[in-house]
Amino acid sequence: MKVLVLHGSPRKNGSSDTLVKHFLQGLNANRRNKVKEFYANDVNVRPCQGCLTCAKLGNNTCAIEDDMQKIYSAFVDADLVVWATPMYWGYMTAQLKTILDRMEALACGPEENWKGKTFVVIITYHYHYQSTVAFFERITPFFGVKLHVILYHSLGKDGHGDVHVSKCKEKLEEAFTLGENLSAITHNDQG
C-alpha cells in the first residue's frame, strides 16, 4: 500500500506526529508499506492564488511551481492519505491549510485522483476540532473517499497546559489498532 502523510504541526514529535508514528507502526505490523511524509512547515508551498489555471486546464496543472508538485505526485499515487494536525483557533494549522487549498488542482483533474482512497485525519486539540472534522465529512463522500478520524484532547485536566499523547496509552493504542485494521482490510482486498 502507498501511504502519504501530511504533517501539519510546526513542532516535530508533538502529539499529532506521535499518533502518526503509532498509526504507521500498526499499519506496518503485518507487512511493509511505502510511506512518503511531508512536513508542511518544511516544504516550499505558496498559497493558492485563485487564478483558476487548474479549472481551465483540468489536468492537475497548477500555475505555481513549488514543492506541491511532489505532494501532488505522492497524493495521486497514494492509497491512504494521513492528514495530521493540531487545532489552532479551532482549525487545522495554516501550513496544512495552504497544502489543502492547493489540492484544488487535483480536484479539477480526473476522479481517479481521489476515488477509492482512504483518509485518516489525526487531530489534537484543546477546545474545538469540529470545523476540520466537518470539512472532511463533507468532502469525502463527494470524492468517494473513506474517512477515519482520531481525536486527542490534549488540554490538561486543570484546564491548562498541553498533555503530550505519550501519556495517554489508550490513544496510542487506538492509532496503532486503526493502522493494523486498515492494513488487514487493504491486504485482504489485494490478496
The helix or strand, by DSSP H or E, that contains position 137, with its residue range, turns out to be: helix 130-143
- Tell me what the mean pLDDT of segment 145-158 comes to: 94
Buried b (16+ CB within 10 A) or exposed e, 52-68: eebeeeeebebebeebb
Q: What is the pLDDT of residues 112-148, one digit of tens each?
A: 889 999 999 999 999 999 999 999 999 999 999 999 9
- The amino acid that residue 137 corresponds to is E
Domain span at residue 72?
2-190
Mean residue pLDDT across the chain = 92
Residue 97 has pLDDT above 90, yes or no: yes
Single out the residue of 61, 68, 18, 26 nearest to residue 47, CA to CA: 68
Q: Which CATH number covers residue 24?
A: 3.40.50.360
pLDDT tens-digit series, residues 15-42 = 999 999 999 999 998 778 899 999 999 9
